[in-house]
Amino acid sequence: MNRRNFIEQVSVGSGAAITAPLLTFSEASEAKSSRLLNRLGQAERSADVVIAGGGLGGCAAALAALRNKRTVIMTEETDWIGGQMTQQGVPPDEHQWIETHGATQLYRDLRTAIRDYYKQNYPLTDAARASKSLNPGDGAVSRLCHEPKVALAVLQQMMAPYQSSGQLTLLLEHKITGANVSGDTVRSLKAVSQRTGKETVLTAPYFVDATELGDLLPLTGTEFVTGAESRSETRELHAPEKADPNNCQAFTVCFAMDYIAGANHVIDKPKDYAFWRNYSPKVTPAWSGKLLDLSYSNPKTLEPKQLGFHPEGISTGDKLNLWNYRRVISKANFKPGTYLGDISGVNWPQNDYSAGNLIGASEKDFKKYVDQAKQLSLSLLYWLQTEAPRPDGGQGWPGIRFRPDVMGTEDGLAKYPYVRESRRIKAVFTVLEEHVGAENRAMITGKKEGNTSADFPDSVGVGYYHIDLHPSTGGNNYIDFGSLPFQIPLGALLPKRMENLLPANKNIGTTHITNGCYRLHPVEWSIGEAVGMLVAYSLDKKVIPRAVREKEQLLGDFQTLIRSQGIETNWPKV
């Protein structure tokens, strides 16, 4: 293979780029180019597609391309693939029909494999083992609450045969730091090992941005938007009057804990505890009080709402027991003595961090915001151990134990922050609230009953979640309202200009508002799987992805192909 244009555009802090002279090489000069790369301390790898980011979208894109006989290089900043389901410590948020439809077959296979992993490897009770719909944690948030490491093990099993055959190259702890672009085409990316500092040039006909923050978009000069659009731009019912590119949803550093009655596992007081103990989010409408408290703003009404907490899973009446909310291990599902107590994941309103925006942050600011968010999460844990009100009138639960092993880290906190919002491509087609929001859709169609979301002729997937925006860096409280079961239009996966770069995470053509329902686990997976198949199909047909949408015959052929591989493109009547 020719080695061309391997000198990267190197991104600098301002977002500008310094472009080195582009060099081209003939077949006869491959050895010379290899020697030059070696002198520069760079290696080179090539594949049919390079995927930056090993989250759910990245994994789905990789598996889709791999099953269609394409070679893949996938990079991941951390040492865990799986994104929000693993490295971020968030059990899957899903819709109520997930067990039978509304997701790809491959995603449902992943869920089945997670259940089977428990049945094959854990000492379950007979009843739990016999349950077709086993929920290891019996968490309230999902029909499948599980430990991050189990999802990791299953994803590794799914990748293993492709890695063994050499069809897949997985570069863990690698960050993309540069790109070489010629016109509307990405030629290569530069990946740097987080451990060794070694640089590797990655070349391919296609590149996929599955990073959590849309990192490839500024590096490649791909047009993008951030934050909130104005109502005049999008005509969206819930959009603000004035646009604010810096107004993005809170992120969260998650952790896990269990409870040993009568024990004392109180951690050292976090250095910023005094600050967070007295902190109230600066949002409008006003928050319910202090952040570290068993009350919060009801997302739908924004009125103060009381929560319950009891680390033995005991009912707290009509108040949601936060312990049970994202519980990933319920000891009742396992043989007596297996667990001393339940294990609960913490991704709550109380540890949402909205005081800094990760998108576009310098490396220094990124670290500062994540460190502050970690201090918030540690402060929440310490508050639960020492000050949280108890039903018996006491304060604190010193038997709560931090579980670093669950997150696979030394500090006990998730490997990467749970990110709810990213840079978004300026797409061929942008999904607006009028397409998927229940109230806005009713206004457009004039139908008040039995309304359906917009029908996209170029649908390449489906999904559902209510529109859920957490408190933001721009000072918004929750924005939370109903949506409709929706489709994923191919046009939202296509940048307006770039020909061989595709998004596969939260960076598709949505708005600040509609991102709120397209950002969850099964939808991210569906986006990634569609993108992986689009790359394979475009290579087979020798056309650019935009042509697949523009030419009716190609679009129909592609949709037939993806349906044959388990991707739903339409919702049944629900």
Q: For residue 64, which of 443, 426, 415, 564 has the smallest C-alpha distance?
A: 564
Q: CA-CA distance, 274 to 169, in Å (whole number)?
A: 46
Rounded to whole angstroms, the Cα distance separating 70 from 47 reads: 8
- The Cα–Cα gap between 440 and 197 comes to 50
CATH of range 46-246+420-565; options 3.40.50.280, 3.50.50.60, 1.10.3720.10, 2.60.40.10:
3.50.50.60
Average pLDDT (32-42) is 52
Average pLDDT estimate for 499-524: 98
Q: What is the pLDDT of residues 183-215, one digit of tens each?
A: 999 999 999 999 999 999 999 999 999 999 999
Domain with CATH 3.50.50.60 in the chain: 46-246+420-565
Q: Taking the CA atoms of 273, 277, 280 and 281 in sequence, report the sign of the dihedral they define.
A: positive
CB 217 within 8 A of CB 209: yes
Kind plus residue range of the DSSP H or E element containing 532: helix 521-541
**Tokens of residue 304, six digits:** 């103060």
How much of the chain, in percent, has pLDDT values that exceed 70?
Answer: 92
pLDDT at 448: 76
- Tokens 């309103």 correspond to what residue? 349
At residue 48, the pLDDT reads: 98
All residues at 6 or more sequence positions from 390 whose CB lies less than 8 Å from its CB, including other chains: 396, 397
Residue 232's CB is within 10 A of a number of other CB atoms, namely 10
pTM: 0.92
Res. 22: pLDDT tops 70: no
Write the CA distances from 469 to 238, 283, 298, 423, 466, integer angstroms.
11, 13, 12, 15, 10
Residue 183 exposed, middle or buried by CB count within 10 Å (0-12, 13-18, 19+): exposed
pLDDT, tens digit (0-9, with 9 covering 90-100), for 67-85: 999 999 999 999 999 999 9
pLDDT for residue 574: 65
Task: Report the pLDDT value the prediction gives residue 451, as an integer from 0 to 100.
Answer: 78
Q: Burial of 106 by CB count in 10 Å (0-12 exposed, 13-18 middle, 19+ buried)? A: buried
Q: β-strands 327-329, 72-76: how paired?
A: unpaired
The per-residue pLDDT for 127 is 98
Count of beta carbons in the 10 Å neighbourhood of residue 215: 24
Greater model confidence, 566 or 18: 566
Q: Which SS3 state, helix, strand or coil, does residue 358 take?
A: coil
Contact 399, 311 (CB under 8 A): yes
Which band of pLDDT confidence, cut at 50, 70 and 90, is reported for residue 38? low
Q: Are 157 and 87 in contact (CB under 8 A)?
A: no
Query: Cis ω on the peptide bond leading into residue 485 (within 30° of 0)?
Result: no
pLDDT band for 62, please (50, 70, 90 cuts): very high
Q: What is the pLDDT of residues 300-321, one digit of tens each?
A: 999 999 999 999 999 999 999 9
Whether 508 contacts 490, CB under 8 Å: no
Which own/partner contact pairs does 315-318 have at CB distance under 8 Å and 24+ positions apart?
A: 316/391
Q: What is the pLDDT of residue 41?
A: 57
pLDDT band at 447 (very low <50, low <70, confident <90, very high): confident
